[in-house]
């Protein structure tokens, strides 16, 4: 089941830049990372090195979640990561 973001949730993601990305380690334990992101209204894009834990984890288990907070307000997004190599972040 895919849930669409409300206009309010989408605007929240567009106006913030920091979040916490959760991926799964080989053992199944969570790996969380504070990340900077860009949301274009469709995709959340982050830039990271190939050898980072988040990239290695997402490459093996693409199911991820991102939470973006602002005081008591928060938006959590669940999805599937796609690894894109060789592109400048602004091109994505």
| 1 — pLDDT class (breaks 50, 70, 90) | very low
pTM: 0.87
pLDDT, residue 69, reads 97
pLDDT tens digits, 31-87: 999 999 999 999 999 999 889 999 999 999 999 999 999 999 999 999 999 988 876
pLDDT, residue 45, reads 93
d(CA 24, CA 56) in angstroms, rounded, equals 10
- With a CB cutoff of 8 Å and minimum separation 6, the contacts of 89 are 38, 45, 47
pLDDT tens digits, 17-33: 999 999 999 999 999 99
d(CA 5, CA 77) in angstroms, rounded, equals 9
CA dihedral 25, 28, 34, 37 (to 10 degrees): 80
């Amino acid at each position: 089941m895919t849930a669409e973001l409300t206009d309010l949730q989408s605007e929240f993601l567009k106006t913030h830049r920091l979040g916490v990305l959760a991926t799964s380690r080989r053992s199944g334990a969570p790996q969380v990372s504070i990340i900077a992101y860009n949301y274009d209204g469709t995709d959340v894009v982050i830039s990271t090195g190939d050898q980072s834990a988040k990239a290695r984890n997402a490459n093996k288990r693409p199911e991820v979640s991102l939470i973006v907070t602002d005081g008591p307000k928060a938006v959590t997004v669940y999805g599937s990561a796609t690894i894109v190599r060789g592109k400048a972040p602004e091109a994505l």
